[in-house]
Chains A and B, each alone.
Chain A
Amino acid sequence: MFQPSLRIASKDLKCRQGCGFYGNSQFEGLCSKCFLQKKEQQRRSTNLQLPIPSVSHKIDPSLPKSADEQKPTNSPSTSRNTIKKEHGSLKKNFGKTMSTIFTKTGHSPRNKNVDQHSTKSDKDKQYEIELISQIQHYKFQGEGQIIQKLLKEKQIIDKIIKDFMTSDHKNIDELSEIVQNFYIKLKQLMSNDQRFSEIPDSDKEDLMDLFEKSVMTQNHGILFSPCEEDERNDSKISSRIKNLNWITAKHLACGINELNSECRDLVYTAITDLVAIDSYLAPKDKLECIVKCCRNIFAVLKHSGHNGPASADDFLPALIFVVLKANPARLHSNMNFINRFSNASRIMSGEGGYYFTNLSCAITFIENLSNESLSLSKTEFDEFLLANGSINTPWETALMACSCFNDFSENMKDIEELKKRTSTNLEAIEKFNEALSTFNDYIDESINATLSRAPLSMRPIKTPKDYKPGLAEAGHYQSNLLVSFDEVQSKKSNITLPLASIKTSDGNFLNITDNLFGSSPVSGPSPFDDNSLNGLATPEEYLLNAASDYQSGLTNINYDFDLSDLSGDNSIAENIENLPDTNVIDKHDPFGDNSAQDEQNGNASILDTDSPNQKVLPSPLKPTIQEYKGFSHFDIPSISCNKGSDFVNHKTNKEERLE
């Protein structure tokens, strides 16, 4: 069977004579030269009352033979058959009317008789066999009788149709009525005849369909597009649609997203379905094409992000759009054929009927389309009509840039996919973060719990009388820290200035510990490490030892060092000389500074303000420093640099705070 395609092969555009020039559909697919030649020949042949001569031989043999054309029968080769054959294939390929000459000669009385005599050709038999095998498929009881009955009916209607079509004053609508009545009669017969009584309802309908299909397929040749009017309408609507190819989905205000690739694919499918209408013979199959097309349109509407059920308000414009883009061949003839010879109940009701009605509406709309129906001004509309062809609608562009566009949309899809994945990842990250913060909270909580527990157990240490000698012996700076911290905690409400100073000292303690452990990697790998260690050990030790009176040593150094100089200086020698001072100052400054500040404030020490421990705390500071000094032996060079600057900043902050 002829498979319709959306594209026309270039060979179909060439002159059918094969002369190499391009043909024109208005010249029946011939180039102007060949067309003139052919016309001339036709005129001569009609004048001579001879069967059409050379024309039939000139038909390009490669042209697809449509199934609906009359196959060569065993009846004597008549001009009618030749003509009809050519008629069919020409119409098939170009959707155009043939010149009236063909029609006239085709139905010349002389030729009719030949057809009438060959009533029971092989072809007819073939259809009968087909019908029989289809009925046998159902395996009815007493199917022999059923088949016999149906074949008899079929012969009757075949004869009626043939007789009618060969009569002189034929009116296709009259025949349509006859056929419809015959269907009704057959249906009634089926429901009342005993032979059919065992058959279920749905199968009866199938039988009716089979019968209809068989009859219509057999007589398609004479019943399809039987009058000139149909053909004229076909070409009219076809050229009308061509002129309206600039119409976009926007003009029709329909919900088709022309740029969405999925949508477009569905629209393509719908178009293919609609175009296929011409390739089927039976009205039921043609109707099926319409149904398929319309279902796809509903799918398109679904895809176009419509809210709510797709309604006729959206559907009809979309269908019109599809019809405009499909421009199905012989549209009018097909519609009329369905309308006339399909079982009336099918097109009056049911899904098929609904879609058929919609398609009729769409066609009527296209025929009567005006500027108002597209909400355009008259001038705009006329401009569009005139400029027809030169305007690239999104649809045309999409067709032209098909491959690029597909790639593009494919990529877009990929990007969307990636986007999705990214968002999934982000979500996972967020979840993880949440879990992390929960875990953090948990940790904090447990730390707090532990902390709140820990001081309780530590409290005994805090008792001033027992504590004083103990601490001095232990000589660990951390014990000092803990004590002062507990102090602060317990005295919180009372402390004002002292709290600040204690806190700063607290902070400095932490800084020092950082220095102790954190600074060594910086100085560690340096080549002069050994040197510095050796060189430094003495001065520092010396200095620290010398400054046995700790407080005085601290106050001496407090304000005088310049760290920027040191950091900028590359000389090791200078470093070594200068470092001990700064280093010592740096490490000890927190206490020195505090004490200095305290002295400035007129207090003997920071902790003096805390009355209960006043006497206890100053002394523990000393052992801490000595302990710390031991560590500093290894870390001197860089500690001095970094911590010096850090400390300067820190100190200025602190001073600001205090002042």
Chain B
Amino acid sequence: MSSSTSHNYNFIFKFIIIGDMGVGKSCLLHQFTEKKFMANCPHTIGVEFGTRIVEVADKKVKLQIWDTAGQERFRAVTRSYYRGAAGTLMVYDTTRRSTFNHLSSWLTDTRNLTNPSTVIIMCGNKSDLETMREVTYDEAKQFADDNGLYFFETSAMSGQNVEEAFIETARIIYQNIQEGRLDLNASESGVQRRTNVLSGPINGKNTDMKENCQCIV
């Protein structure tokens, strides 16, 4: 089947990035989508807005990442961002303890506003600023373990672990799809399957998806 390069992917996963203001959410996004830390670069919006295609288990997955406003006063209104998110990156700043302390409320929001299969990844950003560190790795790891979260310490500045965090999230989501924990037909699963790029055998649950069904021609 023909497909242009820009459409050459099997899935679209929607991610959102949440966390307090100034923890480096947009820098993480830029680091991942444009592979650089843009300290002074102007914001550029292309056709592919906040997206990047990655490969997960031989499948091309287009990650679509939405940045959110982290200010306390917007907390109440930003719930529509969560709608249909397959993955959530919860970011705090390792050099500011308050951002770490707020994680539990962010987590509550995420749990309440996303579907249960949403993968939540915790990111301690600015790990390059070791001297200013206020939250230790062990403490954060403990918090992540207690809440069943995946945890990475990242640096949008150096790019350390940024790729890993996003791709790991995508991998877990894909795994969930494979294992049938994620219902692709649910309107808010945050995952779209490209119709004409046929993928390998997927869990029997999905056979009712019409694009795979050969009887309607």
A residues contacting B by CB (< 8 A) are 187-189, 191-194, 200-202, 253, 295, 298, 301-302, 307-313, 315-317, 344-345, 348-351, 354, 357, 360-362, 364-365, 368, 372-373, 375
CB distance from A194 to the nearest CB of B (A): 6
Given contacts A192-B210, A365-B74, contact A295 B195 (CB under 8 A): no
Q: How far is the CA of A348 from the CA of B30 in the complex (A)?
A: 21
**Chain A residue, CB-CB nearest to B197:** A201
**Chain A residue, CB-CB nearest to B82:** A357
B residues contacting A by CB (< 8 A) are 2-4, 6-7, 12, 14, 21-22, 25-27, 29-30, 38-43, 45, 47, 49-50, 64, 66-71, 73-74, 76-78, 80-81, 83-84, 187-188, 192, 195-196, 210-211, 213, 216-217
- Asked if residues A191 and B195 are in contact (CB atoms below 8 Å), the reply is yes
- Which residues of the partner chain B approach A187 to less than 8 Å between Cβ atoms? 195
- Asked if residues A191 and B196 are in contact (CB atoms below 8 Å), the reply is yes
Tell me which of B43, B69, B73, B213 contacts A373 (CB under 8 A): B73
- Asked if residues A372 and B73 are in contact (CB atoms below 8 Å), the reply is yes
**Chain B residue, CB-CB nearest to A359:** B80
CB distance from A376 to the nearest CB of B (A): 11
**Chain A residue, CB-CB nearest to B47:** A351
Given contacts A307-B39, A368-B76, contact A354 B2 (CB under 8 A): no
- Asked if residues A351 and B49 are in contact (CB atoms below 8 Å), the reply is yes
Q: How far is the CA of A373 from the CA of B210 in the complex (A)?
A: 47
Judged by DSSP, the binding face of B is loop
- Asked if residues A313 and B195 are in contact (CB atoms below 8 Å), the reply is no
- Asked if residues B39 and A308 are in contact (CB atoms below 8 Å), the reply is yes
- Asked if residues B14 and A298 are in contact (CB atoms below 8 Å), the reply is no
Q: How far is the CA of A317 from the CA of B6 in the complex (A)?
A: 32
- Which residues of the partner chain A approach B71 to less than 8 Å between Cβ atoms? 253, 313, 316-317
- Asked if residues B67 and A357 are in contact (CB atoms below 8 Å), the reply is no
Given contacts A188-B216, A344-B187, A361-B80, contact A311 B2 (CB under 8 A): no
Most chain A beta carbons < 10 A, residue from B4, B47, B49, B76? B49
CB distance from B12 to the nearest CB of A (A): 6
- Asked if residues A313 and B84 are in contact (CB atoms below 8 Å), the reply is no
CB distance from A287 to the nearest CB of B (A): 13
- Which residues of the partner chain A approach B74 to less than 8 Å between Cβ atoms? 316, 361, 365
Tell me which of A192, A360, A368 contacts B211 (CB under 8 A): A192
- Asked if residues B211 and A365 are in contact (CB atoms below 8 Å), the reply is no
CB distance from B77 to the nearest CB of A (A): 4
In the complex, number of A-B residue pairs with CB atoms less than 8 Å apart: 121
Q: How far is the CA of A189 from the CA of B210 in the complex (A)?
A: 9
Q: How far is the CA of A317 from the CA of B84 in the complex (A)?
A: 23
Tell me which of A200, A349, A372 contacts B14 (CB under 8 A): A349
Tell me which of A194, A308, A368 contacts B40 (CB under 8 A): A308
CB distance from B143 to the nearest CB of A (A): 24
- Which residues of the partner chain A approach B49 to less than 8 Å between Cβ atoms? 350-351, 354
- Which residues of the partner chain B approach A302 to less than 8 Å between Cβ atoms? 42-43
- Which residues of the partner chain A approach B73 to less than 8 Å between Cβ atoms? 365, 372-373, 375
- Which residues of the partner chain A approach B78 to less than 8 Å between Cβ atoms? 316, 361
- Which residues of the partner chain A approach B67 to less than 8 Å between Cβ atoms? 311-312, 315
**Chain B residue, CB-CB nearest to A189:** B216
Given contacts A308-B27, A364-B77, contact A201 B2 (CB under 8 A): yes
Q: How far is the CA of A187 from the CA of B39 in the complex (A)?
A: 42
Tell me which of B4, B38, B50, B81 contacts A357 (CB under 8 A): B81
Given contacts A192-B210, A361-B78, contact A308 B38 (CB under 8 A): yes
- Asked if residues A349 and B26 are in contact (CB atoms below 8 Å), the reply is no
Q: How far is the CA of A509 from the CA of B133 in the complex (A)?
A: 77
Q: How far is the CA of A349 from the CA of B187 in the complex (A)?
A: 12
- Which residues of the partner chain B approach A295 to less than 8 Å between Cβ atoms? 45
Q: How far is the CA of A295 from the CA of B29 in the complex (A)?
A: 18
Q: List, sorted by A's number, 29 A–B pairs whose CB atoms are closer than 8 Å.
A: A192-B217, A194-B217, A201-B2, A202-B4, A301-B43, A307-B40, A308-B38, A308-B40, A309-B30, A309-B43, A310-B26, A311-B27, A312-B70, A313-B22, A313-B71, A316-B71, A317-B69, A348-B14, A348-B187, A349-B12, A349-B14, A349-B192, A351-B47, A360-B80, A361-B78, A365-B76, A365-B77, A368-B77, A372-B73
Q: How far is the CA of A265 from the CA of B29 in the complex (A)?
A: 29
- Asked if residues A308 and B26 are in contact (CB atoms below 8 Å), the reply is yes
Q: List 15 additional A-B contacts (Cβ < 8 Å) besides A188-B216, A193-B217.
A: A201-B4, A201-B7, A308-B40, A309-B26, A309-B38, A310-B43, A311-B25, A312-B68, A316-B74, A316-B78, A351-B50, A354-B49, A354-B50, A357-B66, A357-B80
- Which residues of the partner chain A approach B22 to less than 8 Å between Cβ atoms? 313
Question: When A and B form their complex, which 9 residue pairs have the shortest distance between CB atoms, in order from nearest?
Answer: A311-B26, A351-B49, A316-B69, A312-B67, A310-B43, A364-B77, A188-B210, A191-B195, A373-B73
Most chain A beta carbons < 10 A, residue from B2, B67, B76, B217? B67
CB distance from A603 to the nearest CB of B (A): 76
Q: How far is the CA of A189 from the CA of B196 in the complex (A)?
A: 12
Q: How far is the CA of A17 from the CA of B70 in the complex (A)?
A: 51
Tell me which of B25, B45, B50, B187 contacts A313 (CB under 8 A): B25
- Which residues of the partner chain B approach A200 to less than 8 Å between Cβ atoms? 2-4
- Asked if residues B26 and A348 are in contact (CB atoms below 8 Å), the reply is no
- Asked if residues A202 and B7 are in contact (CB atoms below 8 Å), the reply is yes
- Asked if residues B195 and A188 are in contact (CB atoms below 8 Å), the reply is yes
Q: How far is the CA of A315 from the CA of B78 in the complex (A)?
A: 13
- Which residues of the partner chain A approach B50 to less than 8 Å between Cβ atoms? 351, 354
- Which residues of the partner chain A approach B30 to less than 8 Å between Cβ atoms? 309
- Which residues of the partner chain A approach B213 to less than 8 Å between Cβ atoms? 192
- Asked if residues A313 and B196 are in contact (CB atoms below 8 Å), the reply is no
CB distance from B154 to the nearest CB of A (A): 16
- Which residues of the partner chain B approach A298 to less than 8 Å between Cβ atoms? 43, 45
Q: How far is the CA of A361 from the CA of B68 in the complex (A)?
A: 10
Q: How far is the CA of A350 from the CA of B213 in the complex (A)?
A: 27
Tell me which of B29, B40, B64, B217 contacts A350 (CB under 8 A): B64
- Asked if residues B41 and A309 are in contact (CB atoms below 8 Å), the reply is yes
- Which residues of the partner chain B approach A311 to less than 8 Å between Cβ atoms? 25-27, 67
- Which residues of the partner chain A approach B210 to less than 8 Å between Cβ atoms? 188, 192
- Which residues of the partner chain A approach B14 to less than 8 Å between Cβ atoms? 348-349
Most chain B beta carbons < 10 A, residue from A188, A307, A309? A309
